[in-house]
Structure 1
Amino acid sequence: MQQPIQSSPADAATPQGVTASTARRSKARYQILALLAVGTMINYLDRTVLGIAAPQLTKELGINAALMGLLFSVFSWSYVASQIPGGLFLDRFGSKLTYFLSMTLWSLCTLAQGLVHGIGALFAFRLGLGVSEAPCFPTNSRVVATWFPQSERAMATGTYTVGEYIGLAFFSPFLFMLMGAFGWRSLFYVVGGVGIVFGGIWWMFYREPRDHPSANQAELDYIEAGGGLTHRKKDADSAGGADAASAKSGGFEWRTIGRLLKHRQLTGICLGQFAGNSTLVFFLTWFPTYLATERHMAWLKIGFFAIMPFIAASIGVMFGGFFSDWLLRRGKSPNVARKLPIIAGLLLASTIILANYVESNVAVIAILSVAFFAQGMAALGWTLVSDIAPDGLLGVTGGIFNFAANLAGIVTPLVVGFIVAATGSFVGALVFIGAIALIGALSYIFIVGDIKRIVLVD
């Protein structure tokens, strides 16, 4: 999140004689941020539309709960496995081409899921979706590092991150109405088609800072003075940014991963992120099926009720970041400012278990909304990565962290599917999600320790 700075924005923006009186900064970086936010919104719609279609799709294709859990999980298999290849592609070909190809290919895989008539083809296209979406968030991070000074990166990251929840909140009713009118296949056609169109928009409008027609010199100086990568145009275009430059100088060794994982700070936040992501994955995959089968809601009612938890989660993301930064400004240590919102969020997320013990649908949605709000609060883990990563190893540290986070996308859908298949109920599944959230909170309390930069000693 935002760090204290010693100079004012006006001072940072005016190196080498450029003054606020002679130059007014343009705001091209916000145009780029809008592209990232829309792209992230589409990204999450594409990966979660299967969850919305699941109640109808399972009936037509004859898929049981255990097999549906496998289908939900398979996306994360290829997504996790493709993180390093996707990052290498990004380093080699840069942000513009990588995001365009990623968006276009994942949207084609989404559209193709609407054409399937058997489990094998659906399985294959879910694998393809994971492979093609893998470079998305590394590209998001690279673009933010390129286009924004350090003092604005938390804001920028929070803005595109909240798009994950906002898109699902506001488009879910439309998607449920669309499915009710035209069937589950229409969801994949529409969402996939929108992504293909946006891929073209990205290609037309994305530029690196020095190539952007709307970015004036005052804005470029402001970004560069704040640590942006505008002064490394050649590296940014050909290798994607600072990590590529450091990779050229130092090189990567696989043993570094083991050395990093020996430090409690990293292992602790990885376990905590796995726990928080387990709650997120439940809402992205099984939530509509839970409402349809466990709560026996009609399509339109599901669409209406599905809005509430996602709106709550988006508020939780923004509140968690604001609260953490507020604590820092009040003089609290990073241990308190960074860990307290996450621990509180994980503890509160465990209340999802209470949904098993109420009858009212309104009460159930209220409980689920509180749990998802809390999960949003706990989504500060990436901030800790930047706080603890050794110098020159932010990329590999983030890769380990992201790997742990996305293991939840593999494990959680499978476990929930097996529980539902074995018991015919979601009761045990909600207990599982709540218990994992508690384990994550305990990890931050007892394992993570002090939030300080890791120093690797040979």
Structure 2
Amino acid sequence: MSYRRGWIAVFLFSLSMINYMDRIALSIAAKPIASEFKLGAVGMGYLFSSFIWSYALFLIPMGVLIDRFGTKRMAGAGIFVWSAATALTAAVGSFGSLMLARLVMGAGESASNPIGAKVIRQWIPANERGVVTSIFNSGSYAGPAVCSVILGALIALWGWRVSFVIAGGIGFVWLAAWLVFFNSPEKARWLSAQERDKIVRERDASTAGDSKLVAGPSGLPALMRSRTLWGLAITQGCNVYTQYLFLTWLPSYLQASRHLSIANTGLFSAVPYAAAVVLCIFAGRLSDQYLKKTGVGTGRRRNAVALAMLTGAAILAVPFTTNLGVLLVIFSITLTGIASTTSLNFALLNDMLPHSRDVAKAMAFVVVGGNIFGMIAPIATGYVIAATGSYDWAFGIAGLLLVAGAVTVLTMTRRPLSGTPDLTQQQVAA
């Protein structure tokens, strides 16, 4: 059988990669921007956080629109808006216009994760969900890895404004390919009949060891009555705090505390992000193998989520080393842990949601939970640096949240998100 659905993984990987390239562009250019607009640590903290405000605000409405109007149109609209806002950042002339560009970018980017969850549910058989979700999420680490090197060099050569034009332009290339090639598996002409039948037959199927889940109430209010949805959202928040600490403050930390140049900062940052891409996909594959005997419906993927979060808590060791080589290893382990946590948590959401009708809305809620913590991270870090003159406590807070997230996912995600489960007590407790 052909594996043309693999192109969907390529689309999702590149969508996430472009998303995060545009996010980290500001962090790479932080030093010249702070100098030009005369911003201190607290001011930069608010600027780093600003796109998350609109991102979180638009997530749930975007999820509703995606469930209603479909993935093709809404993904196209989202990437058009955020790519245009990124490119136009090059034209800003004041702190206020820079903030506005970031807010518009955040609104457009709110389409990305709900789109990814919906497309995976439409296109991917249940027993491949973990690895494809990991491929999608690993794009969010490939973006910073690529961007750190390329944009760091561009800024050193031609200044920070050129870097935003190039970062924004890449999104329009993706948009053209998406509009030409993407459709649902039922309508995609480039898909063989045999592969289409497999996708449609197995995308909502459980493996032989799972029991059926009877349809329950539909819509976000019904889902919000589930303890599991709140557990997934809190877990995501504890993880995303560290993700945004790295995404926004890592280049500044390397330049201020480790005295690296902008170009060297890009090269140093790229290594742990690149490691996270490869190891995150490997972790997703392992989680699918782990669930082969028991099936995805048991929710056992939560154990892998907890293990990934505890791996990410290696960030607690950062204040105790001054060696750049050791620091590189710690950052690589931490980013692998948080990358794997996000992809596995997203896959767990799909595992625990018996029906695809509310996938985008449920994903939007979980991502909102994550980004409430995410919007706090850059600002809190700015205040911590201003108060202590050090990044040590910033890394400590992030590590403790990862430990708290591991406890949360193990204790709060014990039941399906909706419907009436027909699971044995032994399966539920697994």
TM-score norm. by structure 1 comes to 0.81
Please state if 1:429 is matched with 2:394: yes
- What residue identity is the alignment partner of 1:154? G
The secondary structure found in structure 2 opposite 1:354 is helix
What is the CA-CA distance between 1:421 and the residue it aligns to? 2.3
> Which residue, 277, 285, 293 being the options, matches 1:314?
277
Which whole-Å CA distance do the structure 1 matches of 2:383 and 2:29 have between them? Answer: 19
Distance in 2, Cα, partners of 1:208 & 1:177: 39
- Could you tell me which residue of structure 2 aligns to residue 385 of structure 1? 349
* 1:83 is the counterpart of 2:48: no
CA deviation after TM superposition for structure 1 residue 313, in Å:
1.9
Q: Give the match for residue 46 of structure 1.
A: 22
Contact (CA 8 Å) 2:49, 2:379: kept in 1 or not? Answer: yes
Q: Do the aligned partners of 1:169 and 1:311 also contact (CA within 8 Å) in 2?
A: yes
SS in 2 for 1:28: coil
The aligned counterpart of 2:47 is 71
SS in structure 1 opposite 2:29?
A: helix
Alignment-derived partner of residue 98 in structure 2: 122
In the alignment, what sits opposite 1:198?
174
C-alpha distance after superposition, 1:251-290 (max 9, x if no partner): 6474x35522xx2x33333222211111111121111111
Of 33-42 and 317-326, more deviation after overlay is shown by 317-326
Inter-CA distance 207–400: structure 2 relative to 1 (3 Å threshold): closer
RMSD: 2.8
Q: Select which of 59, 62, 71 maps to 1:95.
A: 71
Separation of aligned partners in 1, 2:186 and 2:231 = 40
Give distance in 2, aligned partners of 1:336 and 1:225: 21
C-alpha contact 2:125 2:199 (8 A) present in aligned 1: yes
* Residues 107-146 of structure 1 aligned to structure 2 (within 5 Å): 107-146=83-122
Distance 1:439 1:415, change over 3 A: same
- Aligned-residue sequence identity (percent) comes to 29
Q: CA separation in 2, counterparts of 1:454 and 1:96?
A: 26
Deviations 1:74-115 (A, max 9, x none): 211111111122123324433222222211111010011121
**Structure of larger gyration radius:** 1
Q: Distance in 2 between matches of 1:210 and 1:332?
A: 26
1:340 maps onto 2:312 in alignment: no
Unaligned runs of 5+ in 2: 206-214, 422-430
- The runs of 5 or more residues in structure 1 that have no matched partner are 1-24, 230-245
Structure number with the bigger relative contact order (C-alpha 8 A, sep ≥ 6) is: 2
Q: How does 1:145-294 map to 2 (within 5 A)?
A: 145-227=121-203, 252=219, 254=221, 256=222, 258-260=224-226, 263=227, 265-294=228-257
Contact 1:257–1:400 under 8 Å retained in 2: no
| Residue in 1 that maps onto 2:212 | none
Could you say if the C-alpha distance between residues 208 and 386 of structure 1 is closer, same or farther in structure 2, counting changes exceeding 3 Å?
closer
Match of 1:415 in 2: 380
Relative to 1, partners in 2 of residues 1:125 and 1:215: Cα closer, same or farther, differing over 3 Å? same
Deviations along 1:182-233, one digit per CA (max 9) or x if unpaired, are 111121011011112322222222233344332222222222222479xxxx
Deviations 1:307-364 (A, max 9, x none): 1211232234223323333333466998894233322222232221322122222222
Quick check: 2:22–2:168 contact (8 Å CA) kept in 1? yes
Question: Aligned partners of 1:42 and 1:312: how far apart in 2?
Answer: 18
Whether contact under 8 Å (1:77, 1:410) holds in the other structure is: yes
Matches of 1:84 and 1:356 in 2, distance apart? 37
Q: Determine the C-alpha separation between the residues in 1 that align with 2:86 and 2:201.
A: 41
Q: How many residues align?
A: 410
1:33-81 CA deviation, whole Å, 9 max, x = no partner?
3222222211111122111111221111111111111112121111111
Instruction: Tell me whether 355-364 or 89-98 shows the greater mean CA deviation.
Output: 89-98
Match of 1:366 in 2: 329
Moved more, 310-319 or 99-108: 310-319
After alignment, is 373-382 or 173-182 more displaced? 373-382
CA–CA distance in 1 between the matches of 2:91 and 2:403?
A: 41
* Counterpart residue type for residue 140 of structure 2: E
Q: Which amino acid aligns with 1:420?
A: I
Q: How far apart, CA to CA, are the structure 1 residues paired with 2:367 and 2:3?
A: 31
User: Which residue in the other structure is 2:209 paired with?
Assistant: none
Alpha-carbon offset, residue 414 of structure 1? 1.2
Partner of 2:425 in structure 1?
A: none
Change (3 A) 1:33 1:407: same
CA distance in 1, matches of 2:174, 2:354: 37
Q: So what's the TM-score if we normalise by structure 2? A: 0.86
Moved more, 436-445 or 179-188: 436-445
Shift of 1:456: 7.4
